[in-house]
Amino acid sequence: MVNAISITDLKKKYGSFEALKGINLDIPEGSFFGLLGPNGAGKTTTIGILTGLVNITSGSARIMGYDVVKEYKKSRAIVGISPQELNFDPFFTLDDLLTLQGGYYGMKPKEARAKAMELLKQFGLESKSKVKMRQLSGGMKRRVQIAKAMVHDPPILILDEPTAGVDIELRHLMWEYLAKINKEGKTILLTTHYIEEAENLCDHVAIIDQGRIITEGTPKALIRDVGESMICIRVNDWPEKMELPQWQYTVVDNQLHIQTSDPDTDIGHILSILAKENVAVLEVKLKKSNLEEVFIKLTGKRIDES
Ligand code: ATP
């Protein structure tokens, strides 16, 4: 099977500074893939290479099998990019901006305008079609930015921080929309500073730090393998001879702290063992790990820290 995006031993130097130190990534078709990393990790450089904005130093990148350098016309035609920086002419109306964008990809004006209107409707901006870009709020501009990436109906979308500066309500609406179009078949590569966003949306994430991919996998597997979840149970009386040989745990003052990589499954097992031994349970608390904890553990940084 051809991967939607395939990156092999990709290196990028800016002068003597090596921003990418040989990265490898395979993103299957239909995936919702998150590229997470602290500031300066190399995310935008990677995306820039995929979309022809940054030159490769060595290695290669392919989109649907097309080399992004040698077959750039084909590779660029099948990708829509929503860059981090908002980039439109403030004096264009929304429908003109999107129609013109379609023109860049060879769409006829009528076809492009119809697609522009369809997208504006999907993004809840239909009533603003004749409004100039500069009259929009920041959240509206973000939505137009994504719509602009989608006018030529590319099978692959690259979204660099798509919800930056967007309020929580709109962010959740955008998540719903992105999840929907991914379900309908679009492959999405997303970079984000909101780890919760990646955890919610992505079927696969890669963590990049200082120009290297330091781990990748499904959010669930990363949390299981790297995170530290805990089940805390307060019992009435812990029998002296009682043991839970399957788990690592401590008991202090009738308070059990059990380490687990799968709290949802283990909690049932543990409670049934306690019930069998007639240990009265007074309180149960789960401390579930998350992708943020994984990220901090692996990079030693919070994602918004440089
Ligand atoms: P952020 O989350 O802050 O957007 P990023 O992961 O997207 O960061 P990049 O923008 O790819 O990171 O930058 C990677 C490194 O390369 C940084 O140290 C940055 O300063 C450097 N860099 C990026 N573009 C250039 C350039 N044109 N010239 C020199 N150095 C650059």
**Share above pLDDT 70 across residues of the chain, in percent, rounded to a whole number:** 98
pLDDT band at 306 (very low <50, low <70, confident <90, very high): very low
Per 3-state DSSP, the chain is made up of helix, strand and coil in percentages (nearest 5) of: 35, 30, 35
Ligand 1 centre distance from Cα of residue 133 (Å): 28
Counted residue by residue, the chain has a size of 306
Ligand 1 and 289: CB distance under 6 A: no
Q: Does residue 35's CB lie within 6 angstroms of at least one atom of ligand 1?
A: no
Asked if the model's pLDDT at residue 84 lies above 90, the reply is no
- Rounded to 5°, the CA angle 187-191-197 comes to 90
Supply 47's token pair: 């995306």
Q: Where are the domains of the chain?
A: 3-223, 229-288
Nearest-angstrom CA–CA distance, 206 and 202 = 10
State the pTM of this model: 0.86
Ligand 1 centre and the CA of 40: distance in Å? 5
Task: From 84, 24, 16, select the one nearest 48 (Cα to Cα).
Answer: 84
Instruction: Give the pLDDT mean for 134-158.
Output: 91
Kindly report the average pLDDT of the chain as a whole number.
Answer: 91
3-state secondary structure of 267: helix
Ramachandran region, residue 22 (left: φ > 0; alpha: ψ -120 to 50; beta: rest): left
| Binding site membership of 37 for ligand 1 (Cβ less than 6 Å) | yes
How far is Cα 9 from Cα 225, in angstroms, rounded to an integer?
Answer: 25
Which residue, judged by its Cα, is nearest atom 23 of ligand 1?
A: 45
Query: For residues 1 and 297, which has the higher predicted lDDT (pLDDT)?
Result: 297
Residue nearest atom 16 of ligand 1, based on CA coordinates: 19
Pairing of strands 32-36, 204-209: parallel
State residue 30's pLDDT score. Answer: 96
pLDDT confidence of residue 189: 97
Q: What pLDDT, in 10s, does the model give residues 209-239?
A: 999 999 999 998 998 888 889 999 999 999 8
What pLDDT score does 304 carry? 61
d(CA 102, CA 150): 9
Give me the pLDDT at residue 305, please. 53
Q: Does the beta carbon of 43 lie inside 6 Å of ligand 1?
A: yes
Query: Strands 187-191 and 156-160: what pairing?
Result: parallel
Cα 39 to averaged position of ligand 1 atoms, centre (Å): 8
Query: How much distance in Å is there from the Cα of 63 to the middle of ligand 1?
Result: 22
Atom of ligand 1 nearest to the CA of 54: 27
Using the predicted structure, report yes or no on whether residue 302 has a pLDDT greater than 80: no
pLDDT digits (tens, 9 = 90+) for 104-133: 999 999 999 999 999 999 888 889 889 898
CA distance 133 to 93: 6
Confidence class for position 303, pLDDT limits 50, 70, 90: low
Q: Does the pLDDT value for residue 5 go beyond 60? A: yes
Taking the centre of ligand 1 as the mean of its atom positions, its distance from the CA of residue 190, in whole angstroms, is: 17
pLDDT tens figures, 51-80: 999 999 999 999 999 999 999 999 999 999
Fold that domain 3-223 belongs to in CATH: Rossmann fold (3.40.50)
pLDDT for 78: 95
CA-nearest residue, atom 25 of ligand 1? 14
Any bridge partners for residue 252, and if so which? Answer: 255
Q: 228-278, pLDDT tens digit by residue?
A: 899 999 999 998 888 898 999 999 999 999 999 888 889 999 999 999 999
β-pair type (58-63, 66-67): antiparallel
Residue bearing the CA closest to ligand 1, atom 26? 14
pLDDT average, residue stretch 34-46: 92
Half-sphere exposure of 112 (CA within 13 A, CB side): 19
Specify the DSSP element, H or E, that contains 6.
Answer: strand 5-14
- Residue 226's nearest CA partner among 207, 254, 246 is 207
Q: What atom of ligand 1 comes closest to residue 46's alpha carbon?
A: 11
- Whether the CB of 44 sits within 6 Å of ligand 1: yes
Q: Give the DSSP H/E element, type plus range, for residue 156.
A: strand 156-160
